[in-house]
Amino acid sequence: MIEDVLRNRWRQVTRLYTAWPTTTVLAGLCLLIAGTVAINLVFMALGRPTALNLLVEWAAHPTTTKGDSWDFMRLAREWLSANGSAPGLYDDIFFAQHHKFQYAPTSLLVYDAISALGFTPTHDLLNRIGHFTIALTALGVGVMAFLMIHRMPAGNAADKRIASYLAIPVGIALTLTFYP
């Protein structure tokens, strides 16, 4: 009797993973993410630095990140304010002053947009905007992954539904752990 119940349960479980391979792949990715988080939690408990430390610190304290690129962008914006559109931005900031400003001048438009709205583009404000857009991007990728799987023509409805919901955390996790 118990053997029959277990055999039937095993058939139900294996049917899910053999009927639609995408469900298997996404379930595997979810398990991989869960395992990675578990390993990071163990290392965190032991006081070792982990990638999860960075993510938790980033999420918990959005305004405590250092100036990093903002300092160099501010220098470039000040240079453009003083010199207009004259050539030499990179020659002066990057090569002569040895500041790591390697961005296109259009990246400085965010400063003007924030100023035009009546705000001062401080590191605190810029970091909050950056954190909000990263979180929004991660959520958007999760939703797109859900919709992509949900709209696939293959597979039965139950398998597609499971795979669609598994795609959400995979999309979010892959977005939050991508460092270019």
**Both structure tokens of 23:** 């469900």
Q: What is the pTM of this model?
A: 0.68
Instruction: Calculate the CA 10 to chain-centre distance.
Output: 36
- For residue 163 the two structure tokens come to 């795979």
Convert 36-60 to b/e letters by CB count within 10 Å (16 or more is b): eeeebeeeeeeeeebebeeeeebee
Element (H, E) at 9: helix 2-19
| Residue, of 85 and 32, whose pLDDT is higher | 32
Structure token pair of residue 45: 């408990």
Which of 168, 166, 175, 103 is CA-nearest to residue 134? 175
Supply 101's token pair: 């400003």
Residue 172, pLDDT > 70, answer yes
Over the stretch 119-168, which tens digit does the pLDDT of each residue have? 999 888 888 888 899 999 999 999 999 998 888 776 666 677 888 888 89
Read off the tokens for 154. 């293959």
Nearest Cα to 32, choosing from 145, 169, 142? 169
Return the higher-pLDDT residue of 43 and 163. 43
Contact indicator for 155, 16 with CB cutoff of 8 Å = no
For residues 175, 142, 62 and 110, what is the CA-based torsion angle, rounded to 10 degrees?
80
